Each structure stands twice: as C-alpha cells, then as structure tokens.
Amino acid sequence: MLGIDDPWIWGVYVLCILSALLCVIYGIINWNRGGELEALEIKEEAAWEAVEEEMQEKELGL
C-alpha cells in the first residue's frame, strides 16, 4: 500500500493522518463548548487581583 510493503510503516503513515483528522473533528464538534465557567472564573480573578495589589502595596510601599 502507498508503495510501502511493511504494514507497520504504511499503517503508521495512515495513522498519522487519521489522528490529525481526529483532532480536526474533535475541534469542530466542540468548537463552542467549554466556555461556561468563564463568568465564575472572572470573579475569582478579580478577587486575586485585589489580593495581589494589596501585597504589592505592602511590599513596595506604594
């Protein structure tokens, strides 16, 4: 197949293309999924920022 006799080699040649296809299909199916937690995490970040600022003020005396 594909000019290669050893099935371990043409097999992996095909496998490489299939696994890249798998990535493409997974990406398309889940293109818009997974963004749900954003709002919660943005709140958490605001809280961190406050702490970080306080820390820098203390340290640098600003």
Binding site for other proteins (CB under 8 A): 2-6, 8-9, 12-13, 15-17, 19-24, 26-28, 30-38, 40-42, 44-45, 48, 52, 55-56, 59-60
Output the smallest distance, CB 56 to other proteins, in A. 5
Output the smallest distance, CB 21 to other proteins, in A. 8
Q: For residue 61, which amino acid is it? A: G
Share in percent of the chain as helix, strand, coil (round to 5): 75, 0, 25
Output the smallest distance, CB 8 to other proteins, in A. 5
Q: Enter the tokens of residue 9.
A: 């080699």
Cβ neighbours of residue 45 closer than 8 Å, sequence gap 6 or more: none
